[in-house]
Every structure is written in C-alpha cells, then in structure tokens.
Amino acid sequence: MEEPIAKPRRAHLICGTMFWGLAGFAICAYFAHAYYADLRDGDFYWQSGWWTVLTWAVWLVLAAGLVSETRCWREDLFFGSLIAVFVIGLVFSAWSSVQPRTAMFAREVSLGLWVLAAFASLMTIPSPASSNK
C-alpha cells in the first residue's frame, strides 16, 4: 500500500525571519513617532488631495491582499492593525470637512495602531531559544 503524499507546509509570511520583523518594527516605529510629533505640534489633519487618497487606497489593498498569506495570530495582529490604520487614513484623507476633535481622535487612534503594529512586528522575530532547536 502506498503512503499518502504529505502536502508541503506553507511558510509564515514574516514570522521567523529577522529581517522582516525588524523592518516592520522600524517602519511602524517611524510612523508612530511621526504621528506623535504631529499630535504634539497640534497638526492632526490628513492631507486631502486625490493623490493622497489614492496612496492610502493602494496600501489598503496591498495589506488586505497579504492577509490571505498570514499563518499565525502574530501576523494577523500585525496586518490587522495596518489595515485599520490604512482605513482610517483613507477615510480621513477623503473627508476634507472633518471636525477638528474628530480628526485629532482619529490621529490618536492611528498612533496607537502604529505602536501596536510595531510591537506585533517584534513578536514575529524568532527568539534565540527557538532557533537552537
């Protein structure tokens, strides 16, 4: 009797790779710092040109497409927080008549999501104990 052929396991998108975990952290930490600086300086509005709206839409579609490739909760958390930031950015860059308090609250939420994405990215980096096995 023949043995069944085992299906190859699909690798994680970013988990277990030092480069992508650190790159994701660096990028998310940069944006978290930029959003914090904007809030500190009282600049909490999004640019509202059509090019900005299109840019947010492209990033949203890209991140949403990558979600189908995630294999664990750490990757889901990372891409989920990015998608949430991109949705907020898309909505508020398209909404040119937003009230100041609403724009500030959205910027604060986005800051929190960038920080969450940065930490989620760090969680994808393999620990030294797991690489020795």
pLDDT in tens, 14-48: 777 789 899 999 999 999 999 999 999 998 888 88
- Its pTM stands at 0.84
Positive or negative, the Cα torsion across 24, 25, 30, 32?
Answer: positive
- Residue in 45, 51, 58, 59 with CA at minimum distance from that of residue 96: 45
Six-digit token string for 97: 């008549």
Residue 76 sits at φ, ψ, to 5 deg, of -60, -45
Please state the rounded mean pLDDT for residues 47-54: 91
**In terms of DSSP H, where are the helices of 41-99?**
50-67, 73-94
Domain ranges (residues) in the chain: 28-125
Distance CA 52, CA 63 (A): 17
Query: pLDDT digits over 60-73, tens only?
Result: 999 999 888 888 88
